[in-house]
Chain A
């Protein structure tokens, strides 16, 4: 029976901490050495609200990647019309610093000519390639034998798909009717205790008065105890 305790106030020991990031040693360095290996990326106009996490160059790479990942189609808004790359940037702004860093490295790796050559034998700066070559690069990543590339493809794909299909303007393309109308009550009371008695609407009794599958209570009760409560 082995007991282990670090000294009082001890810090996590080495084994409890992961030092290297998602991309491991060599690849990480490639993604980061932008200045050395980047040829000039194409320039794209920045979103009206500016960028929070991505650099102009990373943004340009993401714009092109999103265009290739979700190509233009009749009857559906384009990724640019929905500002998908800008949405990704604002989502990243809320993300953990480590995720921001890795996503930036990923974009660097997509664009990096040397990395494209070493990993996929397709030399060239991604944003400067012809569209079909760009699609071929994406396909290389998706089906690569290197798990690190498949990981990178999934990271990119997940964020772009979420940013596009999370936008109500894309729902039509998915024949998705959206949530039922008249259900959500943006003025529903919020109860946070303190000096305010619990309102009836947050007790189970009132819920029982609802008819399952049909209408909800009209909910005209005023706002009770909503908003910021200063700490005593």
Chain B
């Protein structure tokens, strides 16, 4: 097989029709590993990616360049009511180009739950283990050394130690990392082992044809078969359609556009699976706690995430669990995701180097009353969907509890003040003031919630009346359509999702390949 190529919008000046074994829509965690395995099997693969092909040549570590180029909707994706801010990748490499490198295998209890409650009898630690081994080797996934931990993570580490809570060091997919802290803007030295610098170029060497700036708009189908993937070329600068189209006629089609976008493409194509497509989208909704120290923390520098705690991941029946990590803190994101009056944000940002930030990521999708997020097509929208997310009482109970725990951890590590992200920020100056958090409103739009982990919307499962794809990831009502990305997860995970998606995609490649 001769070497493939990465095409970009600049070079796609004619309408194009392509025949191939498999068309993969999306080049992120799921799509990249899937395509990598398929070309290794000798299949001809065309990959469509609506984002651009961006490399370290452009990764100058500025937020104002990175978010519009590398994130969905210029970094401003949200729920319809703006109650949840969604950070999601959009470029060659998808989320892996901008993510924070934390790598976890899927917890056993989650795989068991999928087996018991969703009929996913195909996945287990034994099945995924060899795939994870290979992935960890290729992406150099290893524990980040404690000595290299930055002050932001160290505050979490110290707080957890002081309170006697469970704590662990995070494994990262990096190779030759210089501990710079700019993973979220694209690694400037290709140390992060994102898909764009690892398995995608590997696959291009083996024949992958990757079309960047090319957005799949609809699938054409007759009976139980997808016949065409209809895509439009986008102008790399304006992000608007150029009028050129790419039409793919594959034997098998795989959607790897990620949660929200894969369901969106199905909905645009009239494939709704009885209204289940786009439903039950999970977010690991994130509550953020800001602390001010009187020493520099410099949370903008150093590997962004190297410490975690699963101490509260299971909180007993009827309660929503959460896990604790820290985010990197840079001025543009910190200011836009903060809350309160403009003056409050000005005063907060004045002290940026002293700020230490913790996040509690709620483990959603495990309680019976939860319905999660719903994706719908928005008339007149191109890259924007309608997306709503239903909070339950359990979310708010967990958030209030998590805010107290984060404040305790921050004070234990030496914080002088702790602020919530309420519209009226609650300010605490010591652990004796935790009761103030009980008086604050815990409701949508009264306190900011964010997410970088979108999952579900095309849930896998045995029963076609309850799920969208089968336990081998084939769309129930089609013979040659698969979904291979975070959208197939029936619930959230309780750990950062990339390695779960890598593993499932690498495993799924054999089934997709066999369907050609």
Chain A residues at the B interface, C-beta cutoff of 8 Å: 1-6, 8-13, 15-19, 22, 68-71, 73, 76, 91, 93-99, 101, 138-139, 142-143, 147, 150-151, 153-155, 157-162, 164-168, 170-171, 173-176, 179-180, 183-195, 197-198, 201-202, 204, 207-214, 216, 226-231
Contacts and interface: CB of A to CB of B under 8 A. Distances in A.
Nearest to B269: A12
A4 B273 contact: yes
A13 B82 CA distance: 25
Contacts of B74: 91, 94-95
Contacts, number: 281
Contacts of A191: 201
A167 to B, nearest CB: 7
B423 A161 contact: no
A2 B201 contact: no
Interface string B34-67: 0000000000000000000101110111111001
B480 interface: no
B331 A16 contact: no
Contact of A179 (B61, B175, B221, B335): B61
Nearest to B80: A22
Given A193-B3, A208-B175, A202 B275 contact: no
B87 to A, nearest CB: 13
A1 B445 contact: no
B27 to A, nearest CB: 13
Contacts of B85: 158
Contacts of B10: 227-228
B189 A209 contact: no
Contact of B352 (A4, A91, A151, A174): A174
Contacts of B56: 184-185, 188
A18 B376 contact: yes
Contact of B63 (A11, A94, A166): A166
Name which of B74, B85, B176 has the most chain A CB atoms within 10 A of its CB: B176
Given A154-B445, A208-B176, A17 B270 contact: no
Contacts of B12: 231
B5 interface: yes
A197 B180 CA distance: 30
A183 to B, nearest CB: 5
B274 interface: yes
A3 B477 contact: yes
A91 B239 CA distance: 12
B353 A175 contact: yes
Interface of B: 3-8, 10-14, 16, 53, 55-57, 59-64, 67-68, 73-76, 80-83, 85, 140, 148, 175-180, 182, 188-191, 193, 197-198, 201, 204-205, 220-223, 238-239, 267-275, 277-278, 300, 330-332, 334-338, 340-343, 345-346, 349-353, 376-384, 386, 423-424, 444-446, 448, 463-465, 476-477
Contact of B57 (A1, A70, A153, A185): A185
B62 to A, nearest CB: 7
B64 A151 contact: no
B205 A155 contact: no
A155 to B, nearest CB: 6
A4 B272 contact: yes
B118 to A, nearest CB: 15
B378 A166 contact: no
Contacts of A154: 82, 445, 448
A186 to B, nearest CB: 6
A68 B342 contact: yes
Contacts of B271: 5-6
A8 B223 contact: yes
Given A170-B331, A176-B330, A183 B188 contact: yes
Contacts of B4: 193
Nearest to A65: B342
B66 to A, nearest CB: 10
Name which of A158, A166, A185, A197 has the most chain B CB atoms within 10 A of its CB: A166
User: Which 6 residue pairs are nearest across A and B when measured between Cβ atoms?
Assistant: A179-B61, A18-B386, A4-B274, A210-B176, A166-B64, A228-B10
Contacts of B80: 18, 22
B350 A175 contact: yes
8 contacts: A15-B376, A16-B272, A17-B377, A96-B382, A161-B332, A174-B350, A176-B331, A187-B57
B458 to A, nearest CB: 14
B52 to A, nearest CB: 12
Given A99-B76, A192-B5, A162 B332 contact: yes
Nearest to B349: A174
Contacts of B75: 162
Given A10-B270, A192-B5, A209-B176, A184 B61 contact: yes
B63 A97 contact: no
A70 B11 contact: no
A193 B204 contact: yes
Contacts of A208: 175-176
B377 A97 contact: no
A69 B342 contact: yes
B343 A176 contact: no
Contacts of A167: 64
Contacts of B191: 207, 210, 212
A94 B239 contact: yes
Nearest to A142: B423
A223 to B, nearest CB: 9
A168 to B, nearest CB: 7
Contacts of A153: 423
Nearest to B223: A8
Given A68-B342, A95-B73, A165-B332, A193 B205 contact: yes
A94 B465 CA distance: 40
A156 to B, nearest CB: 10
A160 to B, nearest CB: 8
Given A6-B270, A174-B349, A204 B175 contact: yes
B55 A190 contact: yes
